[in-house]
Amino acid sequence: MLNSVTKNASLYSATSFKNLRRRKKMYSGKKRQTTRKGLIMTDETRQIGFIPMSKNGRRHDKRLLDKVDIIRHIPPEVTIWADTGFQGIDKQHPNTQIPKKGTRKRPLSPEQKQENKIISGIRITVEHAIAGIKRLGCMTQILRNRRPFIDDTFLLLSAGLWNFHLRTA
């Protein structure tokens, strides 16, 4: 069972496509390259429990989560630790922890900063799982293969290897 830690990751870059429409769909303005974005859910032991199919890099984190519709399958007693890209998830799941955002006009209080530090300390397990996935070289380098869904195949393969590594180490 997942004591789920939710995090998105722009895991790998795709090649630039000759088809302009397809290339525009995949282009991430934040990364300045064509990317794919995936969602990863782990437990407190860094074991990957859920990976849906990846989508294009333009898609927003919350929209990607809404499309997958995994939140309604998570029991209310399980805490979801999400990052600030998932604003609004607390309306869908009662037991959600999201860091508070500060603004220039309304900076964070010391208590809120301390709370954010605790949340990020718990959420770091997802970052470790993403780093474990990226141990497989094809997840960090540009993927030039044009086969459909080959990037998801590599993602599932590297996640399986990471889980195997955690069980045997």
- Tens digit of each residue's pLDDT (9 = 90 or more) over 42-99: 888 888 888 887 777 677 778 878 888 888 888 888 888 888 888 888 888 889 889 9
For residue 3, give the amino acid letter: N
pLDDT digits (tens, 9 = 90+) for 75-87: 888 888 888 888 8
Q: Please report, for residues 32, 34, 117, 141, the alpha-carbon distance to residue 20 in angstroms, rounded to integers and kept in the order given.
A: 16, 12, 43, 22
